[in-house]
Structure 1
Amino acid sequence: MNTIQLELYNELPQPKPILKWAGGKQQMLDILQSNVPKQFNKYIEPFFGGGALFFTLQPNKAVIADSNPELINLYTVVANNVEELISLLKEMNNTEEEFYRIRSLDITKMSAVEQAARTIFLNKTCFNGLYRVNRKGEFNVPYGKYKNPNICDEPNLRAASIALKRIKIVQGDYKEILKDYAEPGDFIYLDPPYLPISKYSDFKRYTKEQFYEEDQRELAEEVDRLAEMGCHVLLTNSNHPLVHELYGKYKISVHQTKRYINSDATKRTGEDVLVKVEPIKKLIIVPKPVELPKQMELFPATRYMGSKQSLLKDIWTVASEFEFETVLDLFSGSSVVSYMFKSQNKQVFSNDYMAFSACFAKSMIENNQYRLSDEDVKMLCTPNPNADGFVTETFRDLYFAEEDNIFIDTVRANIKMLKNEYKKAIAQSALVRACLKKRPRGIFTYTGHRYDDGRRDLLLSLEEQFVEAVSLINSAVFDNGKTNKARHGDAMEARFKADMVYIDPPYYSPLSDNEYVRRYHFIEGLVRDWKGVEMQWHTKTKKFKSYPTPFSSEKGAYDAFNQLFKRHRESILIVSYSSNSLPTKDDMLKLMSKYKAHVEVIEVDHRYSFGNQGHKVGDNKNEVKEYLFVGFDR
């Protein structure tokens, strides 16, 4: 480039469209610009046409494309051979004879620059600047009879050349372009052929291809895919009912525009629709490592069926993707998830239908300040002549030694002497934990001590376990500055309203049962003081009748999930679920999708602390995938 050319390029204006193009967006530029995302990765425009928005934005990273090969050839030449193109255009004259001569040329015998010059010349001198071809693909628009068309706009061609040099120009179908180039964070502007589709539509005027209703529907599916991918999308079309049907879930605005290509001036008005599509918030499918607060180290973990202790980081990784202040833990179990949310300074509403689980939540979630003193512990451990001996008599030789049973009855009697409800909850929780730790495998589905492996927990007396449990729970009590609540009741009837709802229900599987009462009837009876339960005295374990639950059958679980998702449809939903449970993964996705605009599933490899009836399915029964279903709205 010589010195004169450098000076010319230094004084170039803002580029504008090189061609007059049917459906061009010059008159909508202000509206389009106001809806462009503030930040994006790269710009993609697969129905490029005149490129009004591109030339206004002049993005440094862009892919422009069109299915019209002559159009793409033009922009490629402007980018790479603009001075040669200018020289050819200067030689062309606006006469009817010259017009029809150039129109009749066989483009297959012309160089790329000659083809580009022909495209611009015909566009500037033909009727209304149309681009229309016959069935053979031959340009057939008549001469426009304009007195002084600007055939060679040198400054604009040079300015456009600079804008086009730094980007990628591709010829091809829009779907292939988007498949090959669209990435999360990109901004995609779509200006497809407008509805209604007819033989007189604008699209047929500048391409020999067709774009029918089914093509419009395919485009809408592609827009959904782009949003799912995490792209920003703007789409323009006519104010047609099908457009509203296809894009009703997105932001739609209607704008008055003029149609310059219609020969009848009375019909040169119209309404354009702008569809604005924000990228759907995309979660990380493989959870990234996160660090939990130090407070979590103080949670007194124990072996509990279905406990999510090992999944806390995965759960928080997903939850932390959202902004929320309140969370409802519908099936709190050991309360470890509620405790994790509390440690993240969220207001927590904890619920469980098991009394001992609700007791855990009362002592460590709702309770922000109360602890058992040394005097309290001493009182609780002091023999009480008013103890009723229920455990000693009812469960003799079943689960614990005689002295341990006597101690349990002692604490049961002394807990009633505590006046503070949170101190009572701590004492009951400590007694429950002591029984779980002292019991081989931590369950009460068998009698005796056949799983005694000699570990420390089994060597300690139950009183020693209790005192240790009190110390651990006392240490776990903290104030997160929120008014947290613990509820004992049916999850189907919980009326808490929260920004996020975490659901970890009993998993139904035909290969194993999910009866928490059968496994934990002893500690459940302990907290309930065996009041309001139906004892089954004939059984060896002296269990009581299980609570009715919808999660004991596939249909019941399906209906329960449907009801829960419906009730909490205004909240962010996170559901822990197992790959060997029913309803299936696909059923769960469909169910949640009825009430949430977007649903994702994150798979986490997980091994439970012990398998359920592993002899039925082999040695690896406890190796499953844990699913985290996430439902949210835009």
Structure 2
Amino acid sequence: MPNDAQLRDVLNTQPPAAWIGGKRTLAPRLVQRISQTPHNIYAEPFVGMGGVFFRRRRVPRTEVINDRNGEVVNLFRILQRHYPQFMDTLKFQITSRKEFARLKACDPATLTDLERAARFLYLQKLAFGGKVSGQTFGVDTSRDARFNLNRLAPLLEDVHERLSGVVIENLDWAAFIDRYDRPETLFYLDPPYFGNEDDYGKALFGPEQFELMAEKLSGIRGSFIVSINDVQPIRKIFREFTFAEAELNYSVGGGKGTPARELIITSFGR
């Protein structure tokens, strides 16, 4: 069990780009739950753009993040290890629908890792609603250009510093849990919403995975927190665990938003 001497303060960093299902509204509540849960290892199998990871303020010595999306992992590894070179790659980029279309059509396999990371960040910053799959060019007439390096550079520098010492993996979520499960590990899982599994790319995660997840979590040595949309199939699949309900608004691209309900599922009281 950790005590305050084993935790360190870190900068409250913002994610480098929008991400569909990025947990901006729910993050404060999740961060509070995480901070109240004893752990010496923090591990995220579905980190995305780090909507919860980066907003934590006190962290243990060991942190591990993971995503099956290789573009996410490449971006974070580049920001962690090659930050100055990455900023040089971004230097002359502008907000342009034509450039968005060109980069979207480009095969990332033909690019260097630096170029891949720059392409991915550019598309993610400009995609409507932070979409990952089926991206379209987003327009917001209430603000300046969405890809503005003057504003982006300080944020990326914060991300670079925050990632120092963090282990970055590119594994299937179940293999990740097997690798890092310890009695002192806290897993925070933010899987795709039930019914929206293809939002992050086809074949990365299917609806059958939720049954496997509940089974896997029932046998781990560590503890866990899962955030997921509140629907009856999820309540049935995870029925042996503890539920906390959260009411919030889902919004896309800065729209008004619609009322929604989410579940925070934990191993406590099991």
Length-normalised TM-score, structure 2: 0.86
Q: Distance in 2 between matches of 1:127 and 1:214?
A: 29
Is contact 1:41–1:186 with CA below 8 Å preserved after alignment? yes
Report the counterpart of residue 6 of structure 2 in structure 1: none
1:116 lines up with 2:80 in the alignment: no
Is contact 1:237–1:274 with CA below 8 Å preserved after alignment? yes
Deviation at 1:260, TM superposition (A): 2.0
Match of 2:262 among 264, 272, 278: 272
Deviation at 1:13, TM superposition (A): 5.8
Report the counterpart of residue 4 of structure 2 in structure 1: none
Q: Which residue type is aligned with residue 86 of structure 2?
A: L
Report the counterpart of residue 207 of structure 2 in structure 1: 213
User: CA RMSD for the aligned pairs?
Assistant: 2.2
Report the counterpart of residue 149 of structure 1 in structure 2: 146
Is contact 1:262–1:268 with CA below 8 Å preserved after alignment? no
Q: Which residue type is aligned with residue 43 of structure 2?
A: I
Q: Distance in 2 between matches of 1:204 and 1:141?
A: 13
Q: Distance in 2 between matches of 1:225 and 1:84?
A: 43
Q: Secondary structure at the match of 2:163?
A: helix
Map 1:320-359 → 2, pairs under 5 A: none
Report the counterpart of residue 53 of structure 2 in structure 1: 54
Report the counterpart of residue 227 of structure 2 in structure 1: 236
Cα 1:262–1:163 shift into 2, 3 Å:
closer
Q: Which has the higher contact order (CA 8 A, sep 6+)?
A: 2
1:246 lines up with 2:237 in the alignment: yes
Deviation at 1:57, TM superposition (A): 2.2
Deviation at 1:176, TM superposition (A): 0.7
Deviation at 1:155, TM superposition (A): 1.5
Is contact 1:261–1:268 with CA below 8 Å preserved after alignment? no
**Deviations along 1:276-332, whole A, 9 cap, x unmatched?**
213x8xxxxxxxxxxxxxxxxxxxxxxxxxxxxxxxxxxxxxxxxxxxxxxxxxxxx
Is contact 1:258–1:269 with CA below 8 Å preserved after alignment? yes
Report the counterpart of residue 95 of structure 1 in structure 2: 96
Deviation at 1:112, TM superposition (A): 0.8
Deviation at 1:210, TM superposition (A): 5.0
Deviation at 1:240, TM superposition (A): 0.7
Q: Secondary structure at the match of 2:25?
A: helix
Is contact 1:32–1:53 with CA below 8 Å preserved after alignment? yes
Q: Distance in 2 between matches of 1:223 and 1:164?
A: 27
Cα 1:267–1:155 shift into 2, 3 Å:
closer
Q: Distance in 2 between matches of 1:262 and 1:254?
A: 25
**Deviations along 1:146-203, whole A, 9 cap, x unmatched?**
45114431112111112212111010100011111221110100011111x2xxx2x3
Deviation at 1:45, TM superposition (A): 0.2
Map 1:443-482 → 2, pairs under 5 A: none
Q: Distance in 2 between matches of 1:204 and 1:167?
A: 28
Report the counterpart of residue 19 of structure 1 in structure 2: 17
Q: Distance in 2 between matches of 1:73 and 1:170?
A: 10
Q: Distance in 2 between matches of 1:131 and 1:94?
A: 18
Is contact 2:245–2:262 with CA below 8 Å preserved after alignment? yes
**Deviations along 1:5-42, whole A, 9 cap, x unmatched?**
xxxxxxx9631111201111121122112212443121
Is contact 2:192–2:199 with CA below 8 Å preserved after alignment? no
Report the counterpart of residue 256 of structure 1 in structure 2: 247
**Deviations along 1:499-549, whole A, 9 cap, x unmatched?**
xxxxxxxxxxxxxxxxxxxxxxxxxxxxxxxxxxxxxxxxxxxxxxxxxxx
Map 1:144-223 → 2, pairs under 5 A: 144-146=138-140, 147-152=144-149, 153-195=152-194, 197=195, 201=196, 203-209=197-203, 211-223=205-217
Report the counterpart of residue 375 of structure 1 in structure 2: none
Q: Secondary structure at the match of 1:67?
A: coil
Q: Which residue type is aligned with residue 202 of structure 2?
A: K
Q: Distance in 1 between matches of 2:198 and 2:28?
A: 27
**Deviations along 1:59-110, whole A, 9 cap, x unmatched?**
3311100110111101111111112212222311101111112222221121
Q: Which residue type is aligned with residue 175 of structure 1?
A: A
Query: Which stretch of the first structure deviates more once superposed, 40-49 or 250-259?
Result: 250-259
Q: Which residue type is aligned with residue 48 of structure 1?
A: V
Q: Distance in 2 between matches of 1:212 and 1:117?
A: 29
Report the counterpart of residue 5 of structure 2 in structure 1: none
Report the counterpart of residue 541 of structure 1 in structure 2: none
What percent of counterpart residues are identical?
23
Q: Secondary structure at the match of 1:18?
A: coil
Is contact 1:13–1:156 with CA below 8 Å preserved after alignment? no
Structure whose CA Rg is larger: 1
Length-normalised TM-score, structure 1: 0.38
Is contact 1:238–1:271 with CA below 8 Å preserved after alignment? yes
Aligned length: 253
